[in-house]
């Protein structure tokens, strides 16, 4: 009985690893949805399991797309050594103004597109 349970657990683990590999391949564009669906079925996944793996693919692709739409914030320029008094204040003001000018464009570009809003992806 224990060895039977162990072999069942091992089989489930192997199938799960194989399904995760299929998910990764699909998200990375190495496998089509049709190929993914056939492979999941061939591995013996139940309809509920298959749905979970399809949901994982969809969620990971949505996350990847969302990350690609959000531009990286500019890095803050370090204060040069040796500045003091008015020069230091002028540098800090200019740096702050530059970052403030960039911030509204960054926020606006991270808003969902009209197409995404129409499709319920906000």
- pLDDT tens-digit series, residues 73-90: 666 677 778 888 888 888
pLDDT of residue 102: 62
- Largest distance between two CA atoms of the chain: 81
As a whole number, the mean pLDDT across the chain is: 81
In angstroms, the CA 81 to CA 91 distance is 11
pLDDT band at 38 (very low <50, low <70, confident <90, very high): very high
- Residue by residue, DSSP assigns 95-120 as HHHHHHHHHHHHHHHTSPPHHHHHTT
Regarding pTM above 0.85, the answer is no
Helix or strand (DSSP H, E) at 21: helix 2-27
């Amino acid at each position: 009985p224990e060895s039977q349970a162990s072999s069942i657990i091992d089989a489930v683990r192997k199938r799960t690893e194989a399904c995760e590999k299929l998910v990764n391949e699909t998200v990375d564009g190495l496998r089509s949805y049709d190929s993914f669906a056939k492979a999941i079925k061939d591995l013996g996944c139940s309809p509920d399991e298959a749905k979970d793996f399809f949901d994982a693919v969809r969620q990971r692709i949505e996350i990847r797309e969302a990350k690609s739409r959000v531009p990286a914030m500019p890095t803050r320029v370090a204060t040069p050594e040796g500045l003091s008094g008015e020069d230091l204040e002028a540098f800090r003001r200019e740096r702050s103004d530059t970052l403030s000018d960039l911030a509204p464009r960054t926020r606006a570009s991270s808003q969902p597109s009209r197409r995404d809003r129409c499709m319920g992806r906000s």
